[in-house]
Structures are given as C-alpha cells and as structure tokens.
Chain A
C-alpha cells in the first residue's frame, strides 16, 4: 500500500485494517482498542463519561431531508447514544472553501442549532478555518461530544447472547438514496428523504429497562449487514435474520434494483439496531414504536449459538445465504 485510496474511507475492511495497523499501534490504550463508535471512560469519581468525534464531508451539502449541519449534530449525538450515554455537550468545527456563500453557511449553522435544540444538547465550543478555493470541496465539518452513562447501563457490541432478539428501529437505506439522488448525474426521480435524526431521546426511553438492552448500534456506513456482522464477531455469536421482516421502502428497493445496490449495505443516519433479551423484546418494541423516530420498528431476527461470527439470512423468496460485511468500496461522501 503506497497511497490512500477512497476505499480506505468506506467503513469496510480496508478502513478497519488501516486503523488497526496505523492508529491503534500509535495510540494504543484500552478505551481506543475496543474500536467502538465512541469511548466510555470511568472517571475517578466512578462516573462513566462517553466521548466521540466524527467528521462530515457529505456531497451535496444540502440534500432532501437534511444538510451537513443537521448531519454533523445527529452523527455525534447518535454515536454517543449507541454507547448507552446521554449526550450533553458537543463541539462544532468547520473547514470552509474560499468563496462559499455566507447565506449557505448561515443555513447550515441554523440547521445545526435547530437539531441541537431538538436533541437537547448544547454546542459549547467550535473552530473555523478557511482554505483557498479548490483546497476543500465547499465545506467539511467535525463534531465531538461528551455524555454520561447511567448506572446499570451496559451496552456493548460484545454483549449479544443466544436467544436475544434483534430489533430494527425503521426503514433501511433512506439516507444513502436521498444523498445519491441529490447528486449531479444521479437523477433517480425518487422522492426519498434522508432519515437523518437524533436518536438520543428514544434510546434514553429504552434504557429505562437497562437490564433488557444488551447492544445498540446505528447502521451508518456499511449498512445493517456490516453492523450485524460486527456484533456477531464481537460477541462470538451467530445471528438469523428474516429478510421479509426488515423494513425497506419500495422506492428505496426500486432505486437499489436500478443501481445494483443492496439495501442491507446502504447507510442510515437515524436508525438503530438493538439487541435485547428475548423476554423484553415485546416491551422494548412497544416503547420504540410509540416514538415517531421508531414507529416502523420490527423484530427482524435473533441471536443463536451456532455458526458463530456469521449472519444467516432467510431471503424473501425462502432461500438462505450468508449475509456478509460490506466488502470493497461503496459510494464515497455520503456522510
């Protein structure tokens, strides 16, 4: 490997290998080495703090259902939520290309503010850089955030156990198809809106049953398939998923049919998968479905103790196959 390729940033195996070989080696510490979306650190007072950071390079900057401002807030709020944390404070940094319209910047800033208010988090500090024309594409952002983890909450990708139920909070693929259809050269004539939304409130509701929730993940880059595989590997468990139960809008399905995409690998920005103890599955599902962010939620499968590390999919037509991780490049700059 001489040079960085786009595939190194796609969220798949190439990126995992680069992170392990370069950054884990360089920074090597227990919180980092877990390679979760955020780190949970125990303070000397005994309290647990979660922190997370994420950068955003989405193209186009404004898309149906969201923009880079909303995305920047949701991304970090959701990463913290998936650690079982309650997000409190976030930062916002911007790298802007010379010549970028001030009116667009204002739109982005107001959208980020509105999303932060919606999530109940405060943007407490930030940074701003401008670079000469052509040195970045319009605007790139970064948000970091911290939150607290309540006593009794223990969610981790490695907690899934046989018999647990797999719950999905809603339709798959809306974000990636919305961004794609907003791009020059990709006129899909579908009116799909991004699902970009903060998930902290709905997650706090289900964490009222802390003993029920084993694992939370938001299927962003790499999609649901990659997320479920990561959980299986971390937990050394198998999974059985019924494709007919996985919610996918028919417009997303037909866009996938046209482009040769698979909804299981599409990025989402406002959905989560929850692994919960079987006996609580009905209650948790009702809690999720009562919220607007989760009204299309469904139980899509279960954790088993056979074929460990593999997700088996029962297809809609009744066949079976392995549902693998995203391999190779997917569309760049979707978040």
Chain B
C-alpha cells in the first residue's frame, strides 16, 4: 500500500513546489483536469496552496454524473414510474435534478430505485426479482464502461431476460476536443485522467499536441503525482515541447488495457451524445450494439421495452433546468464554482441545484466541501 503515505510526503511536496516556482513563467497558465478524482484530490489536499498564484488548476467535464443531461434524467424518471420496474444506478445519480424531479424524490414517492456499487450487482438484483424489469441507469467514462459491458455480456451468457440498460456512458477524448474548439475556454495544458488512461492508453491523446499544440501529462491521483504532473507540463512549456507524457507510469501503458477495450467495443458502439454544458458532441457516447439490443432500455437508438415519457427529440443546446445554474460554464472551465451566483447560497450539497454540486466528485461539490483558505486567512500556521 505504497500510496498511503509515500505519495503524501511533505518534504518532497515542498521540494516539488519549489521546483515549480523556479520554472513557472510569469504569465497566467490554465491547466485543466478532466477527472473528478483529480478535482477532489486537488481540493482535498490544498494543492493550489503549493503552486504560484498564476498557475490555475481548472476542472473540466471529468465527472460522468455531472455531464449527464436533464433529458436522460427525465427519461429514467419516466421509466421509474412504470409498472413492475426497478431502477438500479450508482449512488450519486439519485440526487441529480432533471427538469422537474430527481430519482431520490421519486423514491420518496414510492418508485423502486436501488443503489449498486458494481454493475454486476444489478445481475443479482435481476435474479432475485425475476418478475420485475430491472433498468440499470448506466453512467461512466472509459473506466467504468468496460465493467458495465462485462455485466451486459454476462447477462447474455446467463440468459437473463429482465435486465435493461439505459446507457448514458461517454468517452473523454471527444469532449477534450470539443473544449479545445470552444473559443471561450483557454487551456494551456491538460492533466489527463489516470483511470481513463489505464484503459485507453496515452496514444488516445496524441491528437491534442499534434492538432492543437497543447501539452498533456497523464497524472496519478496522490498529491505528489499532481505536483509532478504540473512540473512536467511547465517543463514542456519552457522547452517548447508539445507531447503526451505519462507521469502515472505505475498504472498507465501507452497501449492501455486491451482486454477492457475489447469487451467495451464488443458490447457498445460510439454514437453522438449530449453533454450537459457542452451540448451534442459527435461520437462521444456509448450505445449498445445491435447484438445486445434486447438489453437496451431506450437510449436514443433504443428498444421499445419502455415508453419514454419525455419527448425524445435530441437536444442540441444542453440547457440547465434552472436558468441561473452555471454548471455548463463550470464543466467547461469557463468559470470557477464561486463565480456562480448560487454557489454556497441557493446551491449546496444538501439542496443542489446543478449536478456539479450533486456528485461527490463534482467540481462545485469539491469546491464547497474542501474550500480553499485564501478567502479566510492570510497568515500561515
């Protein structure tokens, strides 16, 4: 269990912090992470305190819960109201508000909504409730999706008839590309997601330095990993190199995890998908392949197993249910959470308005839970 103490070493952190200050240019730089675990780790460890003030760590669309659009929530709520139907999903999805309600509120009114921590648990629920339709509301990036694919393949092998999957699964590189094409967002370097990269490898990001001239470093999640990654990005900028580098070498290989990618592409195929805040991004979503269509609960390509209550017209402009909610801008790194008028007042983890406050790895939740000290104190201990 090396990561428990060694990657938190205060003296090494201070050394890295000093090295960063030495090579950082005077101009302002934005380094974006696209992974909720990075967002949480940066906030929890107070990493910004160890960096020069002109190095901004901003968070992008790195939380699969947060980028799930209203229309998907509304559709699953619609399904939850149907006879003999159980919704199974990951815990963070319960509180995410759709346009009118959330799965948590529907559960309070009597809908059968259950939490699982592994997609395979949904299969056990299917076996124990053979008279009910079990709808797995699947969200996740490349890290989670192979597990979901494996569960679907296993359901096919076991000839399970009452499992249905509503896939809101998404792919990260197309979202990074969409962000780079968005002129409102200024990104000087990517802190690439460690977990996603264990699956897709480093080659998946090669287009970023090649086509956009932006350096990338695939980072681990402990504080020393993140500090070292910032140092590596700064070093590339100083030496005018633009490459994909791997800091998280203990887990990430150039080719990723071929076994996981194989099961993923066996069960799912890419399709266009709507991201909250980013709108529709080509080939950025995952839907079940036709061989597995009987498990499809009605993603856009879906089956007829369920009547979809909200109208299913694709929504090009992802809109927030509350017009004052700025989750869209937060997800693109255009604003930091504290610049949203509702942050910490009307929108808190107890009564979240937007999904970035709902999810435990959401940017707003991280900023609320692990507030930076700069507004409160000036002096050090």
Which residues of A pack against B, CB within 8 Å?
3-5, 7, 12-14, 185-186, 240, 244, 250, 253-254, 257, 259-260, 262, 306-307, 310, 312-322, 324, 327-329
Known contacts A14-B350, A253-B4, A262-B44; is-contact A306 B223 (Cβ 8 Å) = no
Instruction: Decide: A185 and B117 in contact? CB cutoff 8 A.
Output: yes
Q: How many whole Å from B379's CB to the nearest CB in chain A?
A: 7
Asked if B349 is at the interface of the complex by the 8 Å CB criterion, the answer is: yes
Asked if B360 is at the interface of the complex by the 8 Å CB criterion, the answer is: yes
Instruction: Decide: B4 and A254 in contact? CB cutoff 8 A.
Output: yes
Instruction: Decide: B1 and A317 in contact? CB cutoff 8 A.
Output: no
Nearest opposing residue in chain A for B94, CB measure: A329
Asked if B154 is at the interface of the complex by the 8 Å CB criterion, the answer is: no
Tell me, in angstroms, the Cα distance from A281 to B379 when the chains sit together.
25
Which B residues from 39 to 80 make CB contacts under 8 A with A? 40, 43-50
Q: How many whole Å from B178's CB to the nearest CB in chain A?
A: 27
Known contacts A3-B108, A262-B44, A306-B379; is-contact A317 B372 (Cβ 8 Å) = no
Query: Across the interface, which residues of B come within 8 angstroms of A12, CB to CB?
Result: 350
Query: Across the interface, which residues of B come within 8 angstroms of A13, CB to CB?
Result: 348, 350
Instruction: Decide: B377 and A317 in contact? CB cutoff 8 A.
Output: no
**Per-residue 0/1 for B212-233: is the Cβ within 8 Å of any A Cβ (1 yes, 0 no)?**
0000000000011001000000
Shortest 8 CB-CB distances between A and B: which pairs?
A319-B46, A328-B349, A317-B223, A327-B349, A321-B46, A316-B8, A322-B371, A319-B49
Nearest opposing residue in chain B for A14, CB measure: B350
Other contacts beyond A13-B350, A322-B372: 16, CB < 8 A: A5-B105, A7-B350, A13-B348, A185-B117, A185-B121, A254-B1, A312-B373, A312-B377, A316-B45, A317-B10, A317-B46, A318-B49, A319-B46, A321-B373, A322-B373, A327-B368
**Per-residue 0/1 for B344-381: is the Cβ within 8 Å of any A Cβ (1 yes, 0 no)?**
00001110000000001100010011111100110111
Query: Across the interface, which residues of A come within 8 angstroms of B224, CB to CB?
Result: 317
Pull 10 A–B residue pairs with CB atoms less than 8 Å apart, ordered by A. Answer: A3-B105, A5-B104, A257-B3, A260-B360, A313-B46, A315-B44, A316-B8, A319-B45, A321-B370, A324-B371
Instruction: Decide: A327 and B50 in contact? CB cutoff 8 A.
Output: no
Query: Across the interface, which residues of B come within 8 angstroms of A319, CB to CB?
Result: 13, 45-50, 223
Nearest opposing residue in chain A for B379, CB measure: A306
Instruction: Decide: A327 and B348 in contact? CB cutoff 8 A.
Output: yes
Which residues of B pack against A, CB within 8 Å?
1, 3-5, 8-10, 13-14, 17, 37, 40, 43-50, 95, 104-105, 108-109, 116-118, 121, 223-224, 227, 348-350, 360-361, 365, 368-373, 376-377, 379-381
Known contacts A185-B116, A319-B48, A322-B372; is-contact A327 B350 (Cβ 8 Å) = yes
Instruction: Decide: A316 and B10 in contact? CB cutoff 8 A.
Output: yes
Cross-interface CB contact of B40 among A185, A260, A307, cutoff 8 Å = A260
Query: Across the interface, which residues of B come within 8 angstroms of A3, CB to CB?
Result: 105, 108-109
Instruction: Decide: B371 and A321 in contact? CB cutoff 8 A.
Output: yes
Q: How many whole Å from B195's CB to the nearest CB in chain A?
A: 12
Instruction: Decide: B350 and A321 in contact? CB cutoff 8 A.
Output: no
Cross-interface CB contact of A324 among B46, B95, B370, B377, cutoff 8 Å = B370
Tell me, in angstroms, the Cα distance from A257 to B220 when the chains sit together.
13
Query: Across the interface, which residues of B come within 8 angstroms of A318, CB to CB?
Result: 10, 13-14, 17, 49-50
Tell me, in angstroms, the Cα distance from A5 to B352 when the chains sit together.
14
Query: Across the interface, which residues of B come within 8 angstroms of A185, CB to CB?
Result: 116-118, 121
Tell me, in angstroms, the Cα distance from A223 to B117 when the chains sit together.
23
Query: Across the interface, which residues of A come within 8 angstroms of B3, CB to CB?
Result: 257
Provide the main secondary structure of the chain A interface: loop
Tell me, in angstroms, the Cα distance from A316 to B10 when the chains sit together.
6
Query: Across the interface, which residues of B come within 8 angstroms of A259, CB to CB?
Result: 117
Query: Across the interface, which residues of A come within 8 angstroms of B365, CB to CB?
Result: 328
Query: Across the interface, which residues of B come within 8 angstroms of A244, CB to CB?
Result: 10
Tell me, in angstroms, the Cα distance from A316 to B14 when the chains sit together.
11
Instruction: Decide: A327 and B369 in contact? CB cutoff 8 A.
Output: yes
Tell me, in angstroms, the Cα distance from A262 to B1 when the chains sit together.
17
Instruction: Decide: B44 and A320 in contact? CB cutoff 8 A.
Output: no
Query: Across the interface, which residues of B come within 8 angstroms of A313, CB to CB?
Result: 46
Instruction: Decide: B49 and A321 in contact? CB cutoff 8 A.
Output: yes
Tell me, in angstroms, the Cα distance from A50 to B370 when the chains sit together.
36
Nearest opposing residue in chain A for B375, CB measure: A322
Nearest opposing residue in chain B for A225, CB measure: B369
Tell me, in angstroms, the Cα distance from A4 to B380 when the chains sit together.
43
Q: How many whole Å from A86's CB to the nearest CB in chain B?
A: 37
Known contacts A5-B108, A324-B369; is-contact A307 B377 (Cβ 8 Å) = yes
Query: Across the interface, which residues of A come within 8 angstroms of B227, CB to CB?
Result: 317
Instruction: Decide: B45 and A317 in contact? CB cutoff 8 A.
Output: yes
Q: How many whole Å from A266's CB to the nearest CB in chain B?
A: 14
Tell me, in angstroms, the Cα distance from A305 to B287 when the chains sit together.
57
Q: How many whole Å from A262's CB to the nearest CB in chain B?
A: 7
Q: How many whole Å from B277's CB to the nearest CB in chain A?
A: 22
Nearest opposing residue in chain B for A313, CB measure: B46
Instruction: Decide: A310 and B50 in contact? CB cutoff 8 A.
Output: no
Instruction: Decide: B117 and A240 in contact? CB cutoff 8 A.
Output: no
Query: Across the interface, which residues of A come within 8 angstroms of B1, CB to CB?
Result: 250, 254
Among A7, A320, A329, max chain B CB count under 10 A is at A320
Query: Across the interface, which residues of B come within 8 angstroms of A7, CB to CB?
Result: 350
Known contacts A321-B43, A321-B373; is-contact A186 B104 (Cβ 8 Å) = no
Nearest opposing residue in chain A for B48, CB measure: A319
Q: How many whole Å from B49's CB to the nearest CB in chain A?
A: 4
Q: How many whole Å from B347's CB to the nearest CB in chain A?
A: 11
Q: How many whole Å from B89's CB to the nearest CB in chain A?
A: 14
Nearest opposing residue in chain A for B348, CB measure: A327
Q: How many whole Å from A70's CB to the nearest CB in chain B?
A: 27
Known contacts A3-B109, A185-B121, A322-B370; is-contact A317 B9 (Cβ 8 Å) = yes
Q: How many whole Å from B203's CB to the nearest CB in chain A?
A: 28
Q: How many whole Å from A247's CB to the nearest CB in chain B?
A: 13
Tell me, in angstroms, the Cα distance from A185 to B381 when the chains sit together.
43
Q: How many whole Å from A310's CB to the nearest CB in chain B?
A: 6
Known contacts A319-B49, A321-B49; is-contact A314 B381 (Cβ 8 Å) = yes
Tell me, in angstroms, the Cα distance from A3 to B108 when the chains sit together.
7
Q: How many whole Å from B198's CB to the nearest CB in chain A?
A: 15
Nearest opposing residue in chain A for B46, CB measure: A319
Nearest opposing residue in chain A for B115, CB measure: A185
Tell me, in angstroms, the Cα distance from A203 to B380 when the chains sit together.
34
Tell me, in angstroms, the Cα distance from A104 to B256 when the chains sit together.
50
Tell me, in angstroms, the Cα distance from A313 to B376 when the chains sit together.
12
Tell me, in angstroms, the Cα distance from A327 to B366 when the chains sit together.
11
